[in-house]
Structure 1
Amino acid sequence: MTCSGYTPDSVVAPHFFAGEYELDFDKAMGRALDEVELTCRVLVGRADDVSAQRTLDALLSGSGPASLKTCIEAARGAPGEAALGGLCDAFHIKRIQGYRWYEHQGTQYVGAELIIRIIGDGRS
């Protein structure tokens, strides 16, 4: 799997990337907390419809060796530690949505969106 921290020009499937986000400032007094909802996408090539959807199902599973949820949430750190190496206080995958066909740069992929909730200190 290839991964990008931004929306790529072209995709080498399967591909996971960060897309749009919504940022809520000042969820606590004195800029002590901001909250982000990050929309990420995973796109899988469609060599054939059934195998592409099986691959996507494995990636969207709540656990297991191919689970994006397991992989992403491993970066949360130990209890009491900041997540993502100190880049945020905490995060979790809030939901999966939009399981459908996506067109990216003129090519069709089966894919889905992962909504990730991120919280952190707004003063930094």
Structure 2
Amino acid sequence: MLMSAVRDAIADAARTVALPEGVAKLTCYGYVPGAVTAPCFFTADYTVDFDKAMRRALDEVELTCQVLVGIADDRAAQRILDALLAGSGPASLKQAIESARGAPGEYALGGLAHDLHVMRVQGYRWYEHQGTSYLGAQLAVKIIGEGNSS
């Protein structure tokens, strides 16, 4: 798998969430940005387990994604973040990202991977990015695909 393309495709899928009226549109990046405009989603670090099948037929990636929201109003920020982290609904990042799995029998992310699954939410807390504090969390995404492609 070509991870830069996979990361961009995940950000494109996340971009489809629908936030409540009055909340700014979710800004999405397939990389760690130097500066963010909240609310913001970006792909961050990842681990790769090579050779899950013989002859480089399958690699397994765990991609950590970050979501950050502004903190002008603590309660409102938590409500926005909770909607983004929900398992379903119009603002659900899980639902938006997993919609890029493709139809049964099709490859995920437009052919970049065999499959993907948003496994968990972790690290719900305050984060600092470039000197500004945000409320945020991480999503762990499991992606499987051919190890011999680039």
Gaps of 5+ in 2: 1-25
Question: Equivalent residue for 1:42?
Answer: 67
1:84 counterpart residue number = 109
Residue deviations 1:80-107 (CA, integer Å, cap 9, x gap): 1000000000000011000000000000
Report the TM-score when normalising by structure 1: 0.99
Moved over 6 A (4+): none
TM-score (structure 2 length as normaliser): 0.82
Partner of 2:37: 12
Match of 1:100 among 105, 125, 128: 125
More helix by share: 2
More strand by share: 1
* Structure 1, unaligned runs of 5 or more: none
Offset of residue 123 of structure 1: 1.2
Q: Which residue of 1 aligns with 2:84?
A: 59
Structure 1 residue 20 displacement after superposition? 0.4
